[in-house]
Amino acid sequence: MADQDRRRALAEFLRARRERLTPQEAGILPGPRRRTPGLRREEVAQLSGVSVTWYTWLEQARDIGVSRQVLASLARALMLSSVEQRHLYALAGERPPEQPPAPGPGPALQRLVDALDPHPAYLLDANWDFVAWNRAEAGLIGDPAHLAPGERNLLWLVFTDPVMRTLLADWEGQARDLVAQFRADAGERFDDPRRDRLTRELAARSPEFATWWQAHHLAALTTTRRTFHHPRAGALTFDYVKLAALDAPTVKLFACMPADPGTAGKLPLLLDG
């Protein structure tokens, strides 16, 4: 968006939100001669701690700078929602303020995972900790509920459980890809203590993880095909489909779709354990 267009969009957004907010909602006595239900420019300026002239120029889309402190004051004065605040900052060309942690998956997501049986499915959080899984997934890789809470993690399972080295047909290739995908997925969260602790402990436990983590390879979280040598069902090949929930953006749903008719016919065996 060109600067002039962005300033015009910012002006229109502020004006629309000012006209939407009533004096009563803002804690202002409306007075007897009021001709509009919304706030006046001078009232928004007073609530925000800026001059009326400066705020008028802002709504006129003039080329003036807007600090993050003023944006925060405007957001409070106009009683903007979190979505509206992010939009305000984006229109001003500023990075939005840090948001509180996104909510975890609700009961509906758990029901969705359960409904995918006999197709293995699970939910991972931002650090790839298991949040939910269905019976088929537990039958495929083992029940994550048997792991200690701090070890209930996909990377931890792959790199520390010896069973996974025989369960995955190409353990080395799949494990290396997972490290590259995790580094790309978690790359922006440098100050996440859970991420730091997980990678540090995995590097201490697994020489392979330590080597591949230090290589700094990156890979996209796209649809992946994996083959398993299952002790009951034999060879199973799945295409892993990843989905994100809009109401829980840090949570990812992985659904395992059979890649061939043979795998599809063996799915009920995963529920027998």
**Tens place of pLDDT per residue across the chain (273 aa):** 578 888 999 999 999 999 999 888 888 877 667 777 789 999 999 999 999 999 999 999 999 989 999 999 999 999 998 889 989 998 998 887 766 555 567 788 989 999 999 999 999 998 999 999 999 999 999 999 999 988 999 999 999 999 999 999 999 999 999 999 999 888 666 678 899 999 999 999 999 999 999 998 988 888 899 999 999 999 999 999 999 887 777 899 999 999 999 999 999 999 986
How far apart are the C-alpha atoms of 145 and 129, rounded to whole Å? Answer: 12
Total domains in the fold of the chain: 2
| Same structural domain, 72 and 112 | no
260 in any annotated domain: yes
HSE-CB at 144 with a 13 A cutoff on CA atoms is: 25
133 in any annotated domain: yes
CATH number at residue 220: 3.30.450.180
Structure pTM?
0.69
How far apart are the C-alpha atoms of 199 and 207, rounded to whole Å? Answer: 12
101 in any annotated domain: no
Calculate the alpha carbon distances from 194 to 35, 112, 158 in Å.
55, 27, 18
Residues spanned by the domain of 250: 107-271
178 in any annotated domain: yes
